[in-house]
Structure 1
Amino acid sequence: MFKVNKLLNNVKYDLRKLSTQNLSVPEITVTRRITQEDLNSFSSLCGDSNIIHSEDIPEEERYVHGAFLNSLISGIMGSKIPGPGSIVVSQKFKFPRKCRINQDIELNVKLIDNRKIMKTVYHIKQANNIVFQGEASLIRLSSLSKNQQ
């Protein structure tokens, strides 16, 4: 069975605020390492049995699922920035490079517009190369009380 808490092991958070043209921009950076066990769990959950994610090929030829990378970003947006109660209504992203297992990745999410429709930009880097990047528009559920957000 897929266990989310296993996927969050060894995650480091760096929550900070940057100033850009008199606008305080919330930003978070998370560092983690994706293992073969993570790929196996994700493959089992989503049904993607593509050989490029499996132990049937040499480790240096294996790729991390693009959907897995997107889910890590989604987890940050739903729990940290913008946070609980936020729902993605649109997303645009690309994969400029392959992401490999057993190497650190750095996930970064910035909230660039905090209006009724919030906007974020994000990327994932591996060895200082962007392997995933995109932007999302989100709304916040108005039914959540302040202490649930």
Structure 2
Amino acid sequence: MAASGNSLYLEDLHVGQTASFEKMVTEGDIVKYAEVSGDTNPVHLDADYAAASPFKSRIAHGMLSAGLISAILGTRLPGPGTIYLSQNLKFKAPVRIGDHVVATAIITAIDEIKRRVTLATSCVVGDQVVIDGEAMVMVERRPA
């Protein structure tokens, strides 16, 4: 598949290159994510249940915030046409309704032979890291 739109080719990338995506998490986001994913854990949807949990209030699905990393990879760095190969995630803190989440991806390694790019990934709310991880993607070369 050829890169298109604002995609970057392998030859356009360098270690240290970074991109971010920001979103405020709403109640609607959580409800829609529960509908799409089937994850109806009451800690996400039921205020009374969540109040009795260790979190003391409703929290967003961890994968909802992690999805912001996917948004970066598929739309910004490298962009459309990128093939997501792997992702590891460490969930460090909850995200709550109204939190402004900033997801960031930074290129840490490029394997030119295999067309693989490794990126450090994270999501933060204010100064708090809520997700830390690493992704690997495959990127197309520039057509000859």
1:124-145 deviation per Cα after TM superposition (whole angstroms, max 9, x unaligned): 1113110011001111256xx8
> Which residue, 13, 16, 21 being the options, matches 1:30?
21
Matches within 5 A, 1:1-149: 25-57=16-48, 61-115=57-111, 116-141=115-140
Q: Distance in 1 between matches of 2:130 and 2:90?
A: 8
With structure 2 as the length reference, what TM-score do the two structures score? 0.75
Q: State the one-letter code of the partner of 1:32.
A: K
Q: Distance in 2 between matches of 1:141 and 1:52?
A: 41
1:22-67 deviation per Cα after TM superposition (whole angstroms, max 9, x unaligned): x652211233200000000110001111111114436861111111
- DSSP 3-state at the match of 1:61: coil
Q: Distance in 2 between matches of 1:92 and 1:29?
A: 18
Q: State the one-letter code of the partner of 1:135.
A: E
Q: Distance in 2 between matches of 1:90 and 1:83?
A: 16
The structure-2 alpha-carbon separation of the partners of 1:101 and 1:128, relative to structure 1 and needing over 3 Å to count, comes to same
Structure 2: gaps of 5 or more residues:
1-13
Give structure 1 regions of 4+ aligned residues with deviation exceeding 4 angstroms. none
Per-residue deviation, 1:75: 1.3
With structure 1 as the length reference, what TM-score do the two structures score? 0.73
1:69-109 deviation per Cα after TM superposition (whole angstroms, max 9, x unaligned): 12111111111112121112121111011111112121111
- DSSP 3-state at the match of 1:134: strand
| Identical residues among aligned pairs (%) | 24
Q: State the one-letter code of the partner of 1:123.
A: S
Q: State the one-letter code of the partner of 2:37.
A: C
Residue 7 of structure 2 corresponds to none
Residue 11 of structure 2 corresponds to none
- DSSP 3-state at the match of 2:17: strand
Q: Do 2:66 and 2:123's aligned partners in 1 also have CA atoms closer than 8 Å? A: no
Structure 1: gaps of 5 or more residues:
1-22
Determine which structure has the larger strand proportion and give its number: 1
